[in-house]
Chains A and B, each alone.
Chain A
Amino acid sequence: MKRFIRVALAAGLMASAGSAIAQVKIGALYPFSGGLALLGDESFRGLELAIEERNAAGGLKGQQMQIVKGDAVDPNQAVGEARRLTSVEKVPVVFGTYSSSLSIAATQVAELAGVPYFELGAISDPITERGFKNVYRSNPTAKDFANRMIDAIGEAIAPALGADVKALKVAIVHEDSLYGQTVTGYQVARAKEKGITIVETLPYSAKSVDLTPVILRLKSAGVDVVLQTSYQNDTVLFFRQMKEQGLKLKAIMGAGGGYSLRDTMTAIGAANMEGALNLDFTQYKTNAKAAPGIDAFVAKYKAKYGTEPRSGHSLANYMGAKVFFDAMAAAKDYSGPAIREAVMKVDIPAGTTPTGWGAKFNEQGQNTRVAPFIMQWQGGELVTVFPAEAAVTKMKTGVGTN
């Protein structure tokens, strides 16, 4: 019995000594409960997979990474949890956050504490436009999406239609909350730069139960191409009423929101959604040549969680986490200035990561090598169609059955 206790004590001591020496805490701030929990958790899974992969390969500087979760249900709690992570748990770095409003709140805390904050999924531009020294973002912003939508008219849609981009009648339709207004603002500015004429800009309330006035306006103006920024309910209503009112478009493009979700397609019907273009984080029906490692990611994901990935959020978080782990490994320590120096040295060409994005950070900490791919609903599947190297199939023209 005495011997057993001695052995047990020795084993316990070894175990605790081992963990004290070779562990580094990693803060993970996401909405794990509440209304944003589904995609918050999906985002976290990407980080979790990246950490497991790194730990299996020896960890960071020989230390195993240990996740400390913070549950950010709303901006207030994001602040509280960010404080707990940085001052009580004393994590050297924080990863997050999925939602922009949560990220804006939490990054302020991290900045004041001088703790590096790696944003892997929130798209609101101001997150990296406030002159912070410790905030870095690997994913594209709302402005990147808006610019890409406008550019796509000239680079992808006009060639597919065999039309002159200047001759196309383009309209912007958007829900009228901050989200829709922000994206539309960027789109209008970009269109002016590119010399594309926007014939109609039509805002509407996302709670609207009738969008026929919008559709009749588009019909009267003889619009060819519509760019829509929308949530889910209004996307469904728009497509249904577009069919009912016989609006015939040459192309329609959304950016995430309602356009990416399978439920939206089911509610609208595959035939009526056919041809709808969508700009979003990289999804899984993408050519692996432009996104090396995407298949391996899906395999790992399925092995761990037993399902297909629920959205592209996990992939975007996985890609960003890996980029920042490399930067952390290259930094001389985890202090703010050392991390900054290492992140600024990151130089990964586009087309070499599982999302297809590269990584090169500007002074504000924003990744500038992010070009979201264009996807299209074809036969009830969201497939990548542009650019050519990422495409799995050719882009179609026309929308729905009208």
Chain B
Amino acid sequence: MDVFVQLILNGIMLGSMYAIIAVGLTLIFGIVRVVNFAHGEFLMIGMYAVYLLSKHFGLHPYVSAVPVIVLLFVVGALVQRFIIQKLLNADEHIQIFATVGLSTALINLALIVFGADLYSVESPAVRQSIAMGPFTVLVGHLVIFACAIALVAGLHTFMQTTPLGRAIRATAQNRNAAMLMGVRVERIYIISFGLGAACVGLASALIMPIYPVSPTIGTYFVLTAFVVVVLGGMRSMVGAFFGAMIIGIVDSLSGYYIAPDLKEVVYFAIFLAILIFKPTGLFGFGRGTE
């Protein structure tokens, strides 16, 4: 029983990490309607930025979240402005190839600049485990969990209550109608893509104390993030959050009770089942219900 509870706890913590990454992916996919395969590489850029800030300026990873979020917003906005914008009316395959190409280019760029070595930051306080009775949770994981909830709640409120949020939702629902209503769609896309990337900026500051960075670190997280996005209904951030929790818990339980190397099989099976039986996702509200 103890092990079971510990596994659930670990699953929730793992889920929060996926949630923050998947929320950004959901934003980009739900609004710009582009599948961003370079999302993991944004994470990689963010983590290297956190590493450099910590090494050269002695910033704690959590403090460096602020500049890194801004940096990633700019990176996202630039990618949208100079790559995706030009392909908005192109075929979906072309957009996918563009982001896949960007991803490969960024990984190799990192290999040239940083080499294949691992870099990590020293932050022992974050890696301290807290004992709660027989169970242990990492301080860093608790922070991620809190941030994930705050992020989803914050973005949800932003979308529902602010004029910019309304414009974003309008654009997501119908690009042409929004344009006719005077929404500057291209600007909305740049902002949305920037926001999606900024979420990854937050994720990188939170993850860096726990995982060392290497050029391929993004590929470790992003495939799972895609599963989460689909599970969450593609366009819903709250859906993505709960989707991430489910994947985290499934990952943790199947790794223990079935086999560690089969956990991917389990959640990809869930992924396929959802695509077949409920293509709008577990929390899918259908197309156009953002």
Contacts and interface: CB of A to CB of B under 8 A. Distances in A.
A207 B219 contact: yes
A128 B261 CA distance: 31
B138 A209 contact: no
Q: Interface residues of B: mostly helix, strand, loop or mixed?
A: helix
Nearest to A203: B261
A45 interface: no
Interface in B115-167: 115-120, 127, 129, 136, 138
B210 to A, nearest CB: 8
A232 B260 contact: no
Given A216-B6, A245-B136, A236 B212 contact: yes
A264 interface: yes
Contacts of B59: none
Interface string A238-278: 00100011100000000000000001101100000000000
A144 B88 CA distance: 57
Contact of B214 (A35, A233, A245): A233
Contacts of A245: 6, 129, 136
B285 interface: no
A380 to B, nearest CB: 14
B271 interface: no
Interface in B209-224: 210-212, 214, 217, 219-221, 224
B256 A207 contact: no
B191 to A, nearest CB: 30
Nearest to B251: A210
A207 B136 CA distance: 24
A209 B260 contact: no
Contact of A217 (B115, B219, B256): B256
A267 B260 contact: no
Contact of A210 (B115, B119, B217, B252): B252
A176 B261 contact: yes
Interface residues of B, number: 37
Contact of B136 (A38, A233, A246): A246
- Category for how many chain A residues contact B: 20 to 34
A241 to B, nearest CB: 9
B63 interface: no
A213 interface: yes
Contacts of A233: 118, 212, 214, 217, 220
B7 interface: yes
A203 B263 CA distance: 11
B3 interface: yes
A202 B262 CA distance: 10
Interface in A205-236: 205, 207-214, 216-217, 219-220, 232-233, 236
A217 B256 CA distance: 6
A233 to B, nearest CB: 6
A211 B259 CA distance: 11
Contact of A213 (B117, B136, B263): B263
B192 to A, nearest CB: 27
B111 interface: yes
Contact of A211 (B127, B217, B224, B260): B260
Contacts of B210: 240
A204 interface: yes
A220 B257 CA distance: 12
A263 B118 contact: yes
Given A205-B261, A209-B211, A213-B260, A220 B3 contact: yes
A329 interface: no
Contacts of B219: 207
B127 A216 contact: no
A237 interface: yes
B149 to A, nearest CB: 20
B207 to A, nearest CB: 9
Contact of B212 (A202, A208, A220, A267): A267
Contacts of A211: 260
- Which of the listed residues B3, B118, B129 has the most CB atoms from chain A within 10 Å of its own CB? B118
Contact of B111 (A35, A220, A237): A35
A216 B261 contact: no
Contact of B255 (A176, A210, A246): A210
A216 to B, nearest CB: 6
Interface in A191-205: 202-205
Interface string B58-95: 00000000000000000000000000000000000000
Contacts of A267: 118-120, 212
B10 interface: yes
A133 to B, nearest CB: 37
Contacts of A219: 3
B264 interface: yes
B4 to A, nearest CB: 10
B141 to A, nearest CB: 9
B148 to A, nearest CB: 15
A209 B220 contact: yes
Nearest to B224: A209
B256 A213 contact: yes
Nearest to B116: A35
A214 B264 contact: no
B28 interface: no
Nearest to A205: B261
In the A-B complex, the 6 residue pairs with the smallest Cβ-Cβ separation, listed nearest first, are A213-B255, A204-B260, A213-B256, A203-B261, A267-B120, A176-B261
12 contacts: A38-B115, A205-B260, A209-B14, A209-B220, A209-B221, A210-B255, A212-B252, A213-B252, A213-B253, A219-B3, A267-B119, A267-B212
Given A208-B220, A208-B263, A240-B127, 4 more contacts: A204-B260, A209-B17, A210-B10, A210-B14
Interface of B: 3, 6-7, 10, 14, 17, 111, 115-120, 127, 129, 136, 138, 210-212, 214, 217, 219-221, 224, 251-256, 259-261, 263-264
